[in-house]
Amino acid sequence: MRRRAARGPGPPPPGPGLSRLPLPLLLLLALGTRGGCAAPAPAPRAEDLSLGVEWLSRFGYLPPADPTTGQLQTQEELSKAITAMQQFGGLEATGILDEATLALMKTPRCSLPDLPVLTQARRRRQAPAPTKWNKRNLSWRVRTFPRDSPLGHDTVRALMYYALKVWSDIAPLNFHEVAGSAADIQIDFSKADHNDGYPFDGPGGTVAHAFFPGHHHTAGDTHFDDDEAWTFRSSDAHGMDLFAVAVHEFGHAIGLSHVAAAHSIMRPYYQGPVGDPLRYGLPYEDKVRVWQLYGVRESVSPTAQPEEPPLLPEPPDNRSSAPNWIPSEVVLRAGIARGR
């Protein structure tokens, strides 16, 4: 997703309406020129400037303004924030809110911030200590399912199973589905504000999030935006591939944060389908990071299934390469057979 910043004619002279823009937007507008003899970049529109400031604050690049303490965004802070975002996103680091930067800001992504939170008091980053589970056997369940989706309940459960298995195949973690209300990882499909501090925003925008391990009651919980068109091996570019997003979010649920690496599953931006769930393997950088948290798994077949999974059909005998509770519709669509 690497893009180059577009260069063009200089910005138009300020009009009378600019005097009514908030200070942060005026500062960002000033960033449209580099000074000296360098060619200026086109001036962003007011709505793009507003988007830029809100986005940079939301995802950890810029502390929010606090007029009560006199802490406002300065031109230097804004330029540094844009540069950091561009570097993290694999763009040319211009420090300018150019077209490529705005396009990346509008790309569907995870709700969690990319960088440790900037504090108002000291204007510096407070890096949280890495978190991980202090146990190796973790339970999970899908508490709520997508309401208007072509994916059935069994398909969703199967995709969650395989997304968790991606991680437990390489780390000493064992995931098992439970039918009761108590589970370490609760999975929900929700819309808009769902009372966890990370409201969804409709189709596109933020598509999912998960909470890091810890002692809080939401530890490990994973939420998907029910306004998204969730798909699995869709033949076109429509919708969000549920398996790909689930692998990313379960990385958070076991303690991994976002990274800038272009091929990492923990890159914050949606990158499209990653392939067959029964064949997908993590990029090396993701393996190293989970090994640093939990060590290397010594055995195979780590992800356990419930002894008596509820309401799931038995597949035909010739589907034995998949766990015996995975519905045949998933196996048929996963393409595990020949020619891959």
Residue numbers in the known binding site for Ca(2+) are 148, 184, 201-202, 221, 225-226, 228
Let me know the angle formed at the C-alpha of 75 by 28 and 3, rounded to the nearest 5 degrees.
55
Q: Over the range 148-186, which residues count as b (16 or more CB within 10 Å of their CB) and which as e?
A: ebebeebbbbbbbbbbbbbbbbbbebbbbbeeeeebbbb
**How many whole angstroms from its chain centre is CA 297?**
25
β-pair partners for 142: 187
SS3 97: coil
Q: Contact, 252 vs 211, CB < 8 A?
A: yes
Binding-site annotation, residues: 110, 148, 184, 194, 196, 201-202, 209, 221, 223, 225-226, 228, 248, 252, 258, 266
Rounded Cα–Cα distance for residues 167 and 303 (Å): 9
Which residue, chain included where needed, has tokens 């000074």?
A: 35
Instruction: Report CA-CA distances (Å) from 123 to 67, 70, 75, 116, 277.
Output: 15, 13, 14, 12, 43
Instruction: Report CA-CA distances (Å) from 329 to 245, 278, 325.
Output: 20, 14, 11
Beta-carbon-side half-sphere exposure of residue 209 (alpha carbons within 13 Å): 23
Alpha carbon dihedral 307, 275, 101, 47, in 10-degree steps, equals -60
Binding-site annotation, residues for Zn(2+): 110, 194, 196, 209, 223, 248, 252, 258, 266
Q: Find the helix or strand (DSSP H, E) in which 208 lies.
A: strand 206-210
Closest CA to 42 of 79, 94, 7: 7
DSSP symbols for 313-334: PPPPGGGTTS-TTS-HHHHHHH
Active-site residues, by number, are 249
**How large is the C-alpha radius of gyration of the chain?**
22
Tokens for 38? 């360098």
